[in-house]
Amino acid sequence: MEKLVDSRGSACPGPITDLSKAYRNSQVGDIIVLWATDQGVKADAQAWAKRTGNEILEMKEEPDKIVIKIRINKR
Amino acid sequence: MSKLSIICFSGTIDKLTSVGVLAQAGAAMGMEVSVFVTFWGLMNFTKGEKKAIMPKEFEAYGPMMMEGMKREHVKSWYEMLKEAKEMGAKIYACSMAAGVMNIKKEDLDPIVDDMVGAATFLQEAEGGQILFI
């Protein structure tokens, strides 16, 4: 299942908190798409994925937001 | 699970904001977070309205900082601690400092989980990261 988490406008550590909350309600195989505007999210999402054992599939910067696609591999 | 233990010693809003950010970020990272509130920190953890005290040397920057935090949608340290707690963080008040400041257990803000001694905190913190703020 793909789930969109919209954290635009939220300052650090908001986006990673929103990601973590979505993760708690996810299942292995789910995809979480995180939208954020806080620049710290790029490094933070990587650190989060490394710690929790999940995978960043894609990270791209769009004019109005950063889009990060994460696959849940571990619960 | 890895642990993050924060000693919240300071009572000024700048340092409390750091405590809030790190507690929330740690909890979001899946860490077991505990905040041990002592001395000046404790003054902000009693029931009622929270005062925003700026450190003396940066007092002139207070309005700019508050405006910037509003503009960037930075949540208050209290809200950040509440977020952290929703993700499992625990907040403890130092019993000795509470005694010194004449703060009773029933005076504490509901955000505080318990009143404990230093030994309890050290026991809980053992093997993890400890920050003194």
Q: Are A73 and A23 in contact (CB under 8 A)?
A: no
Q: What homologous superfamily does CATH list for B13-132?
A: DsrEFH-like (3.40.1260.10)
Where is A58: in which H helix or E strand? strand A55-61
Confidence of residue A75 (pLDDT cuts 50, 70, 90): confident
d(CA B28, CA B30): 5
- Helix or strand or coil: residue A38? coil
* Assembly ipTM: 0.84
Residue indicated by tokens 């490394």: A50
Confidence at residue B31, expressed as pLDDT on a 0 to 100 scale: 96
User: Where exactly are the structural domains of chain A?
Assistant: 2-71
- Is B75 within 8 Å of A14 when comparing Cβ atoms? yes
**Domain A2-71, architecture per CATH:** 2-Layer Sandwich (3.30)
Q: How far is A3 from chain B (nearest CA, A)?
A: 18
Confidence at residue B52, expressed as pLDDT on a 0 to 100 scale: 83
Confidence at residue B1, expressed as pLDDT on a 0 to 100 scale: 78
Among the partner-chain residues A9, A11, A20, the one whose CB lies closest to the CB of B28 is A20
- Is residue A23 part of the annotated active site? The answer reads no
- The answer on pLDDT for A55 being more than 90 is yes
pLDDT tens digit sequence for B95-133 = 999 999 999 999 999 999 999 999 999 999 999 999 999
**A-side interface with B, Cβ within 8 Å?**
9-14, 16-17, 19-21, 44, 47-48, 51-52
Nearest CA in chain B to A7: B73
pLDDT < 50: residue spans in chain B: none
User: Where exactly are the structural domains of chain B?
Assistant: 13-132
Nearest CA in chain A to B84: A17
Confidence at residue A73, expressed as pLDDT on a 0 to 100 scale: 96
Confidence at residue A24, expressed as pLDDT on a 0 to 100 scale: 94
DSSP H helices in B1-133: 13-28, 39-42, 62-71, 77-86, 95-100, 118-125
Confidence at residue B39, expressed as pLDDT on a 0 to 100 scale: 96
Nearest CA in chain B to A17: B28
Confidence at residue B46, expressed as pLDDT on a 0 to 100 scale: 96
